[in-house]
A and B are shown apart, each in its own frame.
Chain A
């Protein structure tokens, strides 16, 4: 590089920078001057407004002080009669007047003048009142003058003060807004100045940059082109424009680049053709499903296609370069190596072989080989081959053997059926029996999913009673299907077995979350005496899992189950818990109430009989007493009979029945009785409804008999899966010292309630203190509504 050339370039750049800087400084100074003047105007306006506001404020204060002074003067005069106070009044008036004139001078807006008018009017009233009162005082009506000044006069003063503050509010809202506006204007002027300066600076900078860039851009372009060529981009060219040194440089460089580009293009073409033929070969081998490979003369992999990864688990890169024998199991390694060696010597070797290949992780892959020797220039240079995976074929062969074995097992199953039949015949309770059968079907017969449904003769609903095996969440949740729902419903309705090889697409199949994944299903009716009692249902995640064998086995089992169910039902009818309990309770109640009552009546009548000999008069009280007892017992007997009837719960849910019970109770016995329910809706299990209703009935009877209460509250509430029944009275409470021994007076009722609560699986608590009422709480767990809703969604 020659020095003058470089110096010319540097000088040209420096001149451009200097011009730019000068322009920037000049425009910034101009803008600063303009904005300074704008800001000063805004400040002056602001000062002016603040001064006005100050004077207005002073004048208003003065107005108030004047009125106050006058008021004080008048009042002092009326109270004392001292004429000197009238000077205060005059002074007040003078100050008021001066302040009012000041205000008028300072107000230009119509709204303000309106308010001044209002002040004027109010002041006139104030002055009138003062004058009237002073006149009355002078006419010797002192008390009236004081009274009227204190009432009427002060009313006018208040009005005046209100008018003054109206004005003040107005001027504060407007004048202060003006001040704020002026302040904003000042701020805006300042902001505008700053923005202008910045814009000017930016503009100057842009100009400067542009000027400098006209030179530096071309140098830059030259450099860029040189760098591009250096990076092998031979199409790059520098811009050739103008007639200076830079242009010459650019033209020389462009010529050099053209030569380079031409030779480069020829090279590229020959390389592309080579790549194409390689690609064709690669596609052939890599898309093959079979392993295509090549070994060199030493037996090391030279090439292997990607199919090896699918078949043996290795990536081609893991294999290439390694000896083929490393991938063969020990026992065939020597034989294969020898065979390879013979081939390399040019001896005749079989072109096919069946071997086991050592896949990744030690797994053996059966392969069928087709092999060929590779010659180049008449010399043996290696071997190439194609290997096919024959795993599936091998598996099929194994399966055929297994099927033969299964036939044998099936025969054994039939023997198991007989054994299960014996087991189930011994079980009495359905609740025990059905899970047992389901368990046996699952464990002994190996069925994947087993469910047993019982059909309700009235509702025609089939309810799940037992299940075993791999169900997601059938559990203990009540789940039932009607006759038009699902395979189970269909079987229950038709009384015939149904076997589905693939449930998908079968309209009778009902998909629910708990049996997700089911592919085949077998359902068999449980029948007795021509009547369908239920359904045994098997499901599997494999398609076509069940065959005629399974069906025959299951039909035999279903017959056995039918017999067992009939037995169990007979047993339960005889020993039904609810019936027994009710009968026991009634027996105890009769014993406790009616029998004792009758004993007492007998006693009275016996005494009466004895007394009849003495005289009828002496016997009469005994007979009357006996009569009373008889009536009381009759009432008791009626109540027992009423208790027996379950009528209240028929056609009603529990809250409805309790509401009726409580309101009837209140009406009948003249107590304040109310019932509240929270969060309880819909039907609950029948046993819970009946049990809680009876407890409520018993508790109310206790309140009536013992509590001497005037109010009783009954609450039924639900929180998640807990149901709470509370009976609360304000009676005399239970004295622990006396409550237990006297069975007739409630001991028995409480025990009865406890038993009922226990039967429902719940708890009963009694909280009471003498004189502080009694609270009976029953807590029962029922399935939460969310689960019920899910169950409802399934059916």
Chain B
């Protein structure tokens, strides 16, 4: 309802002056929802300034630089949302999920959680559905890669929004290749090429102590991509597994190929390094590792090292070209008491602003197409960024079920003797398969 006459004009001028004044001193109120007139807007701005502060917690894993990036992102969020304070809860990858389960048990779930295997946790009832928020705010999902979006969906509802794609690539040291007189790997390289290059790049001193390691892979969990590339699979279905397929020759061969790199060719760092991605990239940054299996999260760390000349290439293929589809997503705890504020953070992190910041940091391959493919970001680093786009297209989903954590643990344990060189792949698989099958049937 509009007032008439001179009082209206006077009232109408005030909010403008006030708003401009606020802007000039750097205070930016939340973007207002569409309102009927400027008068109600002014009131909303004033109310926001006076509202009490809310605190929420945000948990995630990651390397030290990832923690720093998240801190800066949280600061940017707080600057735009002065009424919300974000407390960061960081745990290393190895302990993150165990820690999270402890928090849940004690009823102290973080409000916003960084998670993979969203379907699994959603089915356990740990997560809050986001559909009502998405719909209310008209949050546009069309910019996301659909395959990633699908992994956050359980029984028709979104329980998270994907931050990135965990695309795996091979990092290589261009200087070491040059020193050995070798051409960099081609995009269509194979396992045989990898093995030959690793052998020629591997260098030892007179006493037989390693100077440069040819190649390092992650012995935990990601050996399954190699199984896929050999035409095999670990389970018959990533979402509703019923059958373990690990005992098929394709799977056994792939595992034996990796084990042979460690023990027959002896071109990898020792096992304790292979079980810790942080350790692998410490060696790589020091110039003591020629080729390393890893993901986009390593890039901010590598950029900081002066005089390290590196580039990336897609995974070598054997019978098939395969990579991982799916990365982690931001979720809101089912038991959170600050869901509105938590959603504000998720909306920021998943919106163009948060995704832009993550992308500028170099940490991730963003889940939003507009950010991923924008030249402002593509131009910033000196590596073959197209590789990520190509490899993302080959992605396949990892096991996405409540059993994921247990299956991962069982497998990692059962394969340790193989990586140690105590048993053959065949033997290791024979002991693992019945246990996995038992888990599925439980």
Contact = CB atoms under 8 A, between A and B. Distances in A.
Interface in A129-148: 130-132, 134-136, 139-144, 146-148
B76 interface: yes
B37 A144 contact: no
A5 B169 CA distance: 135
Contacts of A140: 72
6 contacts: A120-B16, A128-B28, A135-B79, A143-B377, A150-B376, A152-B353
Given A141-B76, A143-B360, A121 B376 contact: no
Contacts of B26: 131, 134-135
B75 interface: yes
Given A128-B31, A139-B72, A147-B376, 17 more contacts: A90-B24, A93-B20, A97-B16, A100-B16, A104-B12, A105-B9, A120-B15, A130-B23, A131-B28, A132-B79, A135-B76, A136-B357, A139-B79, A141-B76, A143-B356, A147-B374, A151-B352
B380 interface: yes
Given A144-B356, A148-B356, A132 B12 contact: no
- Ranked nearest first, the 10 interchain pairs of A and B with the lowest CB-CB distance are A144-B356, A131-B28, A120-B38, A143-B360, A144-B360, A147-B376, A127-B23, A117-B37, A144-B357, A135-B79
A148 B31 CA distance: 15
A15 interface: no
Nearest to A96: B20
B299 to A, nearest CB: 14
Nearest to B351: A152
Contacts of B374: 147
Interface of B: 2, 8-9, 12-13, 15-17, 19-20, 23-24, 26, 28-29, 31-32, 34-38, 41, 72, 75-76, 79-80, 352-353, 356-357, 359-360, 370-371, 374, 376-377, 380
B370 A151 contact: yes
Contact of A147 (B16, B34, B76, B356): B356
A104 B11 CA distance: 11
Contacts of A420: none
Nearest to A124: B19
Contacts of B359: 144
Contacts of B376: 143, 146-147, 150
Interface string A69-112: 00000000000000000000010010001001100110000100
A125 interface: yes
Contact of A124 (B32, B76, B377): B32
Nearest to A135: B79
A215 B76 CA distance: 107
A140 B357 CA distance: 10
Main DSSP-derived SS at the B contact region: helix
A95 to B, nearest CB: 12
A113 interface: yes
B378 to A, nearest CB: 10
B380 A143 contact: yes
A124 B30 CA distance: 11
Contacts of B356: 141, 143-144, 147-148
B16 A135 contact: no
Interface of A: 90, 93, 97, 100-101, 104-105, 110, 113, 116-117, 120-121, 124-125, 127-128, 130-132, 134-136, 139-144, 146-148, 150-152
Nearest to B36: A117
A347 B302 CA distance: 168
Contacts of B38: 117, 120-121
A416 to B, nearest CB: 105
Nearest to A142: B360
Contacts of A144: 353, 356-357, 359-360
A97 B377 contact: no
B73 to A, nearest CB: 9
Nearest to B15: A120
B16 A121 contact: no
Contacts of A142: 360
A97 B380 contact: no
Given A110-B2, A143-B360, A147-B377, A135 B9 contact: no
B352 A148 contact: yes
A124 B41 CA distance: 10
Contacts of A120: 15-16, 38, 41
Given A97-B20, A127-B20, A139 B76 contact: yes
Contact of A127 (B9, B15, B19, B380): B19
A458 B41 CA distance: 99
Contacts of B24: 90, 93
A118 to B, nearest CB: 9
Contacts of B32: 121, 124-125
Contacts of A131: 23, 26, 28
Contacts of B370: 151
B357 A141 contact: yes
B7 to A, nearest CB: 13
B16 A152 contact: no
A116 B9 CA distance: 12
A739 B359 CA distance: 78
A135 B352 contact: no
Contacts of A100: 16
A125 B31 contact: yes
